[in-house]
Amino acid sequence: MNQKLSSKKAVYARFFPLLGDLRKSDKVEFSQDLLAGTITAILLIPQALAYSLLAGLPPEVGLYASVLPPIIYAFTGTSRALAVGPVAVAAVMVAAALAPYAGGDPDKYLTGALILSALTGFIMLCMGFLRLGWLTHFISHPVLTGFTTGAAIFIVGTQLAALTGISVPRGVSFAVLLQTLIDNIHTYNLAAGLFGSAAVVLLILARQPLVVLLTTLGMKQQSALILGRTAPLFVVIFAILLSWLIDAQVRFDIAVVGLVPQGLPMPSVDFLKAEGWTELLPAAGMIAVIAYVESISVAKVLAFRRRQKIDPDQEFRALGLANVAAACAGTMPVAGGFSRSMVNFDAGARTQLAAIVTASLVGLAAFLFTGLLENLPKAVLSAIIVVAVWQLIDIKGLKHTWSYDKGDGIAQGATLVGVLAFGIEHGLMLGVGLALVLFLYRTSRPHIAVVGRIGGTEHYRNIHRHKVETWPHLLLVRIDENIYFANTPRVETELHNLVLDSDITDVVLIFSGVAYVDTSGLEMLETIEQELSSSGVRLHLAEVKGPVLDRLCGTQLYDRLGEERVYLSTDKAVEQLICPSS
Amino acid sequence: MNQKLSSKKAVYARFFPLLGDLRKSDKVEFSQDLLAGTITAILLIPQALAYSLLAGLPPEVGLYASVLPPIIYAFTGTSRALAVGPVAVAAVMVAAALAPYAGGDPDKYLTGALILSALTGFIMLCMGFLRLGWLTHFISHPVLTGFTTGAAIFIVGTQLAALTGISVPRGVSFAVLLQTLIDNIHTYNLAAGLFGSAAVVLLILARQPLVVLLTTLGMKQQSALILGRTAPLFVVIFAILLSWLIDAQVRFDIAVVGLVPQGLPMPSVDFLKAEGWTELLPAAGMIAVIAYVESISVAKVLAFRRRQKIDPDQEFRALGLANVAAACAGTMPVAGGFSRSMVNFDAGARTQLAAIVTASLVGLAAFLFTGLLENLPKAVLSAIIVVAVWQLIDIKGLKHTWSYDKGDGIAQGATLVGVLAFGIEHGLMLGVGLALVLFLYRTSRPHIAVVGRIGGTEHYRNIHRHKVETWPHLLLVRIDENIYFANTPRVETELHNLVLDSDITDVVLIFSGVAYVDTSGLEMLETIEQELSSSGVRLHLAEVKGPVLDRLCGTQLYDRLGEERVYLSTDKAVEQLICPSS
C-alpha cells in the first residue's frame, strides 16, 4: 500500500514538479517568489504587447500568452525560474509563417496563430513522449547563435519601419524590407520617430548608466539591476501620458495601439475546426524546435547555478502543454524567454510560484488597465523590441568561433546570412545542414599518423611531432577516426601509400581512435589484409576497443588474423614483433 | 628544353594513359588484346541491343553507344580492362527519367536521351576537374548493393512483361508494374513466352552447366568460361533463324526488333539546341554518380588484380568525355559494365586496345548485319537482360551485412525496398540519406568508458571488460568519439553522472579516441571544468592528439588547465595524481 502510494507520488513528482517544490518550500521562499513574480510582471506587460505586434497580431494577444500558458508550465515544467510567455524569435517566425497563409485577412491570421500554437504544442508533446529531445542536439551552438543574431537583426530591421512610421509589407525578406524602407524614406513620420528614438534612448539609459548611477548613490547592485529592468513599464506609462496630452494620433498622425478589448477570452477549442493545419506544419515544427532549444538553454544555465536538475523530455512535455494551452487561450506560441527568465532568477524566484504571481498580475492588468493603452504610440513598443533583441546580436561570438574552428565559423556565418537572405526558416535549415555536411566532410578525411615509441615508456606518438623510437621492418599506423563508408577509400589509399616502402614486413594498425568500423570499412580492411598478405606483409591490429572487437569476432578478417595478430596494446605488439631482432 | 618535353609527356601520360601503355606493350599483348576485344564484342552486341530496349530506345542506339564512347574512354581512361558501353542500371534510370519528360513522343524521347548523355558527361567532367570524386564516397557499399539489387529486381519485373508479350506502361513504379502485369495476364502471347523462356533456359545452361560439361570434355576452365559468355550471340542468331523460318511476327503476332537502320550516324551537336536541360538535370546527376561508382568499383577490382593504379579524378574526366561523345554519337549514357569488364579481363585484355577492337567490331556489325535483326523477337533480348541482371540480385549480401551491422543492414534493405517502392532515384536518395543519418545517430551516442590500469603495464582499459587497478579519488574516463555538437549534451550528462560520486578529487579525460573537438564541445568542456572546479574537483586531460592540442592552445580551457594538467599519457597523469598517496 505504502509502496503504491510512493510510486504514485513519484509519478506526481515527475509530471507536476511544482507540487513537490511547494511542499519543501518555506515562508521566506514564498515571499521571494512573490517579489520576483511582481518584478517579472512589470517587465512582461510591455514585452507582451510588443511581441504580439511583432508577430503581426493585436496587442492583447500577447497578454493572453502571458496568463494561461505560464500557469500550465508552472505546474508541469522542471525548471524553477524559467519565465514562459511570448518571445521575440518565435514571434517573428509566426509572422513569417502567417503572412503567406493569411494573405491579408486578419481573422485568418489570428486563426493561423492558434493553429501554430496547437501544432507547436502537439509536436512538443510527441517529442517529449517519444523521448526525441536528442534530435535538437543537431542544432549546434554556433548555428543557434548565428540564427539568433540573424533573427535579431531581421527584427531590428522590421522595427525600424515602425519606429519611423514608414509602412512596409509583412513577411518579406530582409533585402526587400530594406529596399522598401529606403524607397519610402520620404513618408517618415517625424513625431513617431521622436517618440521611438526617445524611448530607445531612455531604455538604453535605464540599463548600464542607471545602474551605475544608482549604485553610486548607494543602492545594492542587484537591486539597481532589477530596477533598471522595470524601465520599459515606466517608459510606456510616460509615453501614454504624453501622447494623450498632445493628442498625438490626431495632430501628428502617429500610429497608436488603439482600443484593446478588456479582460481575457474564455478558453476555446474552436480553432480545431479551422483549415490550414498541413500548410502550417513545417513552420510549427521549426517554431517547436527553436522554442524548445531557447527554453532549455536558459533552463540549463539557471539550474546549473543552483545545482538543480532539468529533465529534457519533461521540458518538451511541459512546453507542449503550455503551447496547447496558448491555442486554447486564443494566443500565439510561447517559450521560455532568455532575458525575462534571467530577471526572474536574479529577482530571487525560487519556484514556479513566481510565474503564477506574474501570470495573475498580467491577468489583472488585462481586466483593469487595457483602456489606458489606447493612446500608446506603436513606435514605443517597437523601441522596446529593438532594445530587447539588440542584446541577442552577437558578432563578437562569430569572430571567436571563427578563430577556434573555421568550419563552425562558416556554419555560424552562413546561418546568420541565410536568415537575412532566405528568411528565418530557410536560414536555420541551411545552418543545420551545413554544420552536418562540414562534420561529415571532416570525418571523411581522417587524421592518420605513423607512430613510434617514446623512449623509456610504453607510449606511442606521431613520429613527426615527438622524438620516438622506430624499427625499419615495422610500420605502426594510428587511424584517428571511425572507419566508415565516407572515409574508407581515403584510408585505403593512405595505407597503400604508406606500405609502398618495401622493407616493411609487419604493419600494425592502432585502433585507439576507432570506436566503430562499419561494413564498408570491414570490407576495406579485408581487402587490405589479403593484398598485404599476398605481398608477404603481415597485418596486425592493436588497442581494438571492446565494442569494435565484439563485432569483428566472427568476421572473415578476424578468422584470418586470429587472436595472435590482435594485440591488447601497441607495446605488446611491438615487443612481439621486434623480439626476433632483439 | 628536355624538362619541358618531359613535363609535356607527363601531361600526355596523365590525360592519355593509353599512349603510354602502347609504347610499353609487346606483340604478345597486342594479340591478347585482339582476342579479348573480339570476345567482348560477341558479348556486347546482343547486350547493346537489349539495353537500348531497356532504356526505351530503338535497338540501334545501343550499338551507337558501343562504338564512339568506348574509343574515347580507351584513350583517356586509366583502367586497362574497363569495358565502357551501355549498362543495365543506367538504362533503366534513363527510362525512368524520360517517360515523364517525353510523354509518349518518340522523337522527344530520343532527344532526351542525348541531353541526358551530355549532362551526365558535363557533370562528370566538372567533378573530375574540381576533384570532387570524394563526394561519391558518401554512397556506402551496403547502399550501393541494395540499390543494385533493387534496380535489378525492378528490371526483371519490366522484362517479365516483354518476355510474355504483355504490354505495360513505361516509367511506372514497381507496384503499378506488377499490378498491370496481373491485370493483363490474359493478354499473354504464348509464342513470345516460349521464345523468351527458351532463351532464358539456354542462357542459364550456357553458364555453369556448359562450363562443367566443357571442362569435363577436357577444355581449360578459363576458355570454357569465356566460351559460355559468348552464348547470347548464338542464342540471338538461333532465334532470328527460327523466327524467320516460322514467320513468327505474322503468324504468332510476336513483337520483333523490326527494321534497324544500317551504319552509324554522323556525330552531331544538334541536341544542344533541344529543350529540357534543367528538367533532366537531377536525373543526369544521379546517372553520373551511379555510372561513375559502378565503373570505378570494377576498375579498382581489376587494377588491384594486376597491381595497377586507377586515378579516380581522371576516371571522372574520361567517363565524362565518353558520355559527351555518346551525346554527339546520338546515344544514351554509358558506363563501365561489371560483367562485361570481367569477361574482357578474363579473356586477357592488357590495354584499352582491346576496347578499340571491340568498338571496331561493333561498328562493323552496324554496317553489315543490321538487316538480319529484323526478325529477332524482343522476348529474346528481354531474356538476355533478365539473365544478365539476375546476377546483380544479392540477397545473401543483405543477410551478411545485417549480421555484422544492423545499421548498415537497415540502410541496405531500405535502399532495396525504396527503389522498388518509390523508384530508382528516390530509392537511392533514401539510402544515402539514411546511411548518413544512421552514422550521425551513432556518433551522437558515443561510447564512454571508465578505465583502470592493467597490472604491470602502462596500459589502461575499461574497468568492466578487464581486470584493472583503480584509485578511489581518481576517475579516469575515456571518450571514444569526436566531441562535437550532436553528442556534447550526452557527454556532458554522462560526465555529470560519473562525477556524482563524492570521493573523487581528480578527473582525467582520456582523449585517445578524440580526433576533433568543435566549438560546442569546447564550450561544454569549459563549463564542466568550471563546474568541477567549484565543487573542488580538478579536471585533467591526457593523450590529447597533436591536432586537437594545437586547437586547444589559446582557449580559455587551456589557460585554466595550464600545461601541468594536460598529460602526454594516461600513465603519466596517474603517476602524478597518485603520488601523494603512494
Provide mean pLDDT across the span A530-549.
88
Give A514→chain B minimum CA distance, Å. 7
Which of A466, A485, A557 is most worth mutating to test chain B (most B CB atoms within 10 A of its CB)? A485
B212 touches chain A (CB under 8 A): no
C-beta atoms of A134 and B401 within 8 A? no
Provide mean pLDDT across the span A16-21.
72
Give A414→chain B minimum CA distance, Å. 16
Contacts of A449 in chain B (CB under 8 A): 545-546
C-beta atoms of A459 and B571 within 8 A? yes
Distance CA(B491)–CA(A69), nearest Å, equals 32
Q: Which three cell numbers stand for residue A424?
A: 528565418
Higher pLDDT: A175 or A61? It is A61
Q: Strand runs (DSSP E) across A284-443, as ranges?
A: 335-336
Query: Is the pLDDT score of A264 beyond 80?
Result: yes
C-beta atoms of A516 and B446 within 8 A? no
Highest mean pLDDT among A351-365, B179-193, B229-243: A351-365
- The whole-number pLDDT of residue A582 equals 42
Provide mean pLDDT across the span A233-242.
88
Burial of B178 (0-12, 13-18, 19+ CB in 10 A): middle
What is the side-by-side order of every strand in the sheet holding B538-542? B460-462, B448-453, B474-479, B506-510, B538-542, B566-567
Residue in B435, B440, B459 closest to A569 by CB = B459
- Report which residue type is found at B455: G
Q: Which three cell numbers stand for residue B342?
A: 570481367
Higher pLDDT: A248 or A74? It is A74
CB A348 within 8 A of CB A35: yes
Rounded to the nearest angstrom, the gap between the alpha carbon of residue A304 and the centroid of all alpha carbons in its chain is: 17
Which residues does A144 contact at the CB level (< 8 Å), separation at least 6? A293, A297
Which residues does B482 contact at the CB level (< 8 Å), separation at least 6? A443, A481, B443, B514, B515, B516, B517, B518, B521
Contacts of B488 in chain A (CB under 8 A): 137
SS3 A517: strand
- Report which residue type is found at A49: L
CB A210 within 8 A of CB A334: no
- The whole-number pLDDT of residue A501 equals 63
Query: Is the pLDDT score of B10 beyond 70?
Result: no
Burial of A308 (0-12, 13-18, 19+ CB in 10 A): middle
Task: Determine how many CB atoms are found less than 10 A away from the CB of residue A32.
Answer: 18
Per-residue model confidence as pLDDT tens digits over B16-29: 777 777 767 666 67
Which residues does B454 contact at the CB level (< 8 Å), separation at least 6? A568, B460, B461, B466, B467, B468, B469
Contacts of A401 in chain B (CB under 8 A): 519
Query: Is the pLDDT score of B1 beyond 50?
Result: no
Distance CA(B261)–CA(B64), nearest Å, equals 11
Per-residue model confidence as pLDDT tens digits over B348-378: 888 889 999 999 999 998 888 888 888 888 8
For A171, phi then psi, to 5°, come to 70, 25
Distance CA(B397)–CA(B376), nearest Å, equals 36
Of the candidates A466, A582, A545, A549, which has an alpha carbon nearest to the alpha carbon of residue B459? A545
- What's the start-to-end Cα distance of chain B, in Å? 73
ipTM of the complex: 0.79
C-beta atoms of B519 and A489 within 8 A? no
**Helices (runs of H) and strands (runs of E) counted in chain A:** 27, 9
Provide mean pLDDT across the span B505-514.
91
SS3 B479: strand
B463 touches chain A (CB under 8 A): no
CATH class as words, domain A448-581: alpha beta
- The whole-number pLDDT of residue B301 equals 77
Domain ranges of chain B: 2-437, 448-581
**Residue A6: band (very low, low, confident or very high) from pLDDT cuts 50, 70, 90:** low
**Residue A8: band (very low, low, confident or very high) from pLDDT cuts 50, 70, 90:** low
Contacts of A516 in chain B (CB under 8 A): 442
Place of cell 532589477: A226
B145 touches chain A (CB under 8 A): no
Provide mean pLDDT across the span B327-331.
94
Higher pLDDT: B303 or B15? It is B303
- What's the start-to-end Cα distance of chain A, in Å? 73
Mean pLDDT of chain B: 86
Q: Which three cell numbers stand for residue B314?
A: 581522371
Contacts of B461 in chain A (CB under 8 A): 568
Give A405→chain B minimum CA distance, Å. 7
Give A477→chain B minimum CA distance, Å. 14
Q: Which three cell numbers stand for residue B491?
A: 557527454
Provide mean pLDDT across the span B38-54.
89
Give the β-pairing of A84-85 and A538-542: unpaired
For A266, phi then psi, to 5°, come to -65, 135
**Residue A14: band (very low, low, confident or very high) from pLDDT cuts 50, 70, 90:** low
SS3 B1: coil
Distance CA(B455)–CA(B468), nearest Å, equals 6
A480 touches chain B (CB under 8 A): yes
**Residue B581: band (very low, low, confident or very high) from pLDDT cuts 50, 70, 90:** very low
Residue in B134, B447, B547 closest to A447 by CB = B547
- The whole-number pLDDT of residue A581 equals 46
Per-residue model confidence as pLDDT tens digits over A400-447: 899 888 889 999 999 999 999 888 888 888 998 899 888 888 888 888
Query: Is the pLDDT score of B155 beyond 70?
Result: yes
Provide mean pLDDT across the span A454-477.
88
Q: Which three cell numbers stand for residue A40?
A: 517579472
Place of cell 531557447: A294
Burial pattern A171-191, b for ≥16 Cβ within 10 A else e, equals bbbbeebbebbeeeeeeebeb
Q: Which three cell numbers stand for residue B207?
A: 553458364
Percent of chain A with pLDDT over 90: 27
Query: Is the pLDDT score of B176 beyond 60?
Result: yes
**Residue B415: band (very low, low, confident or very high) from pLDDT cuts 50, 70, 90:** very high
A569 touches chain B (CB under 8 A): yes
Beta bridge partners of B179: none
Contacts of B408 in chain A (CB under 8 A): 518-520
Distance CA(A66)–CA(B367), nearest Å, equals 84
Distance CA(A235)–CA(A199), nearest Å, equals 7
A469 touches chain B (CB under 8 A): no
Distance CA(A350)–CA(A328), nearest Å, equals 28
**Residue A1: band (very low, low, confident or very high) from pLDDT cuts 50, 70, 90:** very low
In three state form, how does the secondary structure of A174-221 look? HHHHHHHHHHCHHHCCHHHHHHHHHHHHHHHHCCHHHHHHHHHCCCCH
Measure Cα distances from A49 to A229, A257, A354, A561, B454 in Å. Answer: 16, 9, 21, 71, 65
Query: Is the pLDDT score of A5 beyond 80?
Result: no
Give the β-pairing of A566-567 and B84-85: unpaired
Contacts of B571 in chain A (CB under 8 A): 457-459
- The whole-number pLDDT of residue A451 equals 92
Per-residue model confidence as pLDDT tens digits over B428-485: 889 988 998 888 888 888 889 999 998 888 888 889 888 888 888 899 999 988 999 8
Provide mean pLDDT across the span A364-393.
86
DSSP secondary structure string for all residues of A450-497: EEEEETTSS-EEETTTS-EE-BTTEEEEEE-S-B-TTTHHHHHHHHHH
Orientation of helix B190-205 relative to helix B208-216, angle to 10°: 40
Mean pLDDT of chain A: 86
Burial pattern A417-443, b for ≥16 Cβ within 10 A else e, equals bbbbeebbbebbbbbbbbbbebbbebb
Per-residue model confidence as pLDDT tens digits over A275-327: 889 999 999 999 999 999 889 888 887 887 776 778 888 999 999 999 999 99
Contacts of B523 in chain A (CB under 8 A): 141
- The whole-number pLDDT of residue B362 equals 93
**Residue B2: band (very low, low, confident or very high) from pLDDT cuts 50, 70, 90:** low
Provide mean pLDDT across the span B319-326.
96
SS3 A336: strand
